[in-house]
């Protein structure tokens, strides 16, 4: 009879609608889980005072101050919260025929000193409070790209355009060691927390791992079949591992130089932090800089003013603040908002919702398959009756 066919079609429509609704809920929950990112980072203090563009920025170990280095020949220290200028360091370019551009800057582990490197081929150590010059480190034959203190503050390590890395006595300025091996400019150099290892990165070469006691190159961090360059290199806080950037970030054994793992983050980075939640890196982007979870490769946020142009950036030790600086002669602070109760709740609930709706979808498809099979059998057994008239 005709009413029987209509009933079957109504049942089929009901089951199809149920499955469709569950499918839509599943897609929505997955979209929220995967695409609903954290709140935008807030714009903080803006540091004004440099007369030319800012080449380098650095946070103090406690994150309360920011150091900047500029092509105006000065390095400056600022309050990270208010943007107030605290100290000015001048002195690069004081030799006849040399330029005063300051290219790189870093704080000592106790935050009391500052080290800068410049276009005049010199490295200088300063009192970070008074701005007084404490030591002059001379010996490089080209400009300085990278400066850093050792963990105990007694040594300074530098990387230069002259393709060498050098270790210095931070108090006297005496050159302790010259590390040679790179054929191109050394763009980054960092010493391990224990002071026994050093990692260097060059522009068109693989990073190298060194022993600081005698200057021996322990390993060239090069994977068979992998890229030959890696301009970013840093030690983990416990100095057991080295992480480098290239087409993909890679984790290496700091003792042997052996490759441990390929990470998901692509490209090089300008700064790295190791908060308890996991390492974060800052990478240069067309629209500014991005903060990326190093292990997962997930982009957390994009910061900066595209029109200003970003020359340099740094991230605070806790990973919650980033400072960007550019051709507009300014430095800007960005602060990650602390997640509220609702955001923490949704971060926990979203994956469980996706799992729940996924299970419901499977259950609904299983039910539909059974009902459609039963209905098809019933439809076939009454097919002749249902098409006749009364």
C-alpha dist (Å) from residue 233 to 139, 192, 268, 272? 24, 11, 9, 9
Structure tokens at 193: 């927390």
Whole-number mean pLDDT of the chain? 82
Long-range contacts of 114-117 (CB under 8 A, 24+ apart): 114/67, 114/75, 114/77, 114/89, 115/147, 115/148, 115/149, 115/156, 115/170, 116/69, 116/75, 116/89, 116/92, 116/147, 117/143, 117/144, 117/145, 117/146, 117/147, 117/158, 117/160
Looking at the DSSP assignment, which residues form a beta bridge with residue 246?
267
CATH code for residues 42-338: 2.130.10.10
Structure tokens at 282: 């800052």
Structure tokens at 178: 């010259």
Which stretch of DSSP H or E encloses residue 243?
A: strand 241-245
Taking residues 291-315, what's their average pLDDT? 81
Q: Enumerate residues 6+ apart whose C-beta is below 8 A from 269.
A: 232, 245, 281, 282, 283, 292
Q: How confident is the model at residue 1 (pLDDT cuts 50, 70, 90)?
A: very low
Comparison of pLDDT for 109 and 31, the residue scoring more: 109
The string of pLDDT tens digits covering residues 8-18 is 455 555 556 66
Residue 374 has pLDDT above 50, yes or no: yes
According to DSSP H, which parts of the chain are helical? 2-35, 341-381, 383-386
Q: Coil, strand, or helix at residue 2?
A: helix
Of 242, 229, 294, 301, nearest in space to 263 by CA? 294
What end-to-end distance do the CA atoms of the chain give, in Å?
A: 8
> What gap in Å lies between CA 218 and CA 178, rounded to an integer?
15
Residue 330 has pLDDT above 90, yes or no: yes
The string of pLDDT tens digits covering residues 128-173 is 999 999 999 999 999 999 999 999 999 999 999 999 999 999 999 9
> What gap in Å lies between CA 132 and CA 112, rounded to an integer?
11
Q: Enumerate residues 6+ apart whose C-beta is below 8 A from 248.
A: 262, 263, 264, 265, 266
Looking at the DSSP assignment, which residues form a beta bridge with residue 225?
none
Let me know: does 87 contact 47? Beta carbons within 8 Å.
no
Of 294, 232, 235, 286, nearest in space to 265 by CA? 294
Q: Quick count: other Cβ atoms within 10 Å of Cβ 66?
A: 28
Residue 254 has pLDDT above 70, yes or no: yes
Q: How confident is the model at residue 357 (pLDDT cuts 50, 70, 90)?
A: low
Q: How confident is the model at residue 387 (pLDDT cuts 50, 70, 90)?
A: very low
């Amino acid at each position: 009879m005709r009413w029987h066919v209509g009933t079957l079609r109504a049942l089929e429509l009901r089951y199809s609608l149920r499955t469709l609704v569950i499918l839509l809920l599943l897609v929505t929950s997955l979209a929220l889980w995967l695409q609903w990112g954290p709140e935008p980072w807030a714009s903080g203090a803006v540091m004004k005072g440099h007369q030319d563009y800012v080449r380098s920025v650095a946070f103090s170990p406690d994150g309360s101050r920011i150091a900047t280095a500029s092509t105006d020949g000065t390095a400056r220290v600022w309050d990270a919260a208010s943007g107030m200028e605290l100290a000015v360091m001048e002195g690069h370019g004081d030799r006849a025929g040399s330029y005063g551009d300051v290219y790189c800057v870093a704080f000592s582990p106790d935050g009391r000193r500052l080290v800068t490197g410049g276009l005049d081929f010199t490295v200088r150590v300063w009192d970070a409070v008074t701005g007084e010059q404490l030591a002059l480190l001379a010996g490089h034959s080209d400009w300085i790209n990278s400066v850093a203190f050792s963990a105990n503050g007694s040594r300074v390590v530098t990387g230069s355009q002259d393709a060498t890395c050098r270790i210095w006595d931070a108090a006297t300025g005496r050159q302790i060691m010259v590390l040679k091996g790179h054929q191109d400019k050394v763009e980054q150099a960092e010493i391990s927390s224990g002071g026994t290892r050093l990692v260097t990165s060059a522009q068109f070469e693989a990073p190298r791992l060194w022993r600081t006691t005698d200057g021996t190159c322990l390993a060239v961090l090069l994977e068979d079949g992998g890229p030959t360059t890696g301009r970013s290199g840093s030690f983990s806080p416990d100095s057991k591992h080295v992480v480098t950037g290239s087409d993909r970030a890679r984790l290496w054994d700091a003792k042997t130089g052996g490759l441990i793992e390929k990470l998901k983050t692509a490209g090089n980075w300008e700064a790295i932090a190791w908060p308890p939640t996991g390492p974060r890196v800052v990478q240069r982007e067309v629209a500014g800089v991005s903060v990326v979870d190093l292990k997962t490769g997930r982009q957390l946020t994009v910061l900066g003013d595209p029109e200003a142009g970003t020359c340099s950036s740094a991230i605070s030790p806790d990973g919650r603040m980033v400072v960007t600086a550019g051709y507009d002669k300014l430095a800007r602070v960005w602060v990650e908002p602390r997640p509220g109760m609702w955001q923490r709740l949704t971060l926990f609930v979203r994956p469980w919702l996706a799992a729940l709706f996924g299970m419901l979808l499977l259950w609904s498809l299983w039910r539909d398959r059974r009902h459609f099979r039963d209905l098809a059998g019933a439809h076939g057994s009454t097919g002749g009756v249902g098409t006749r008239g009364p």
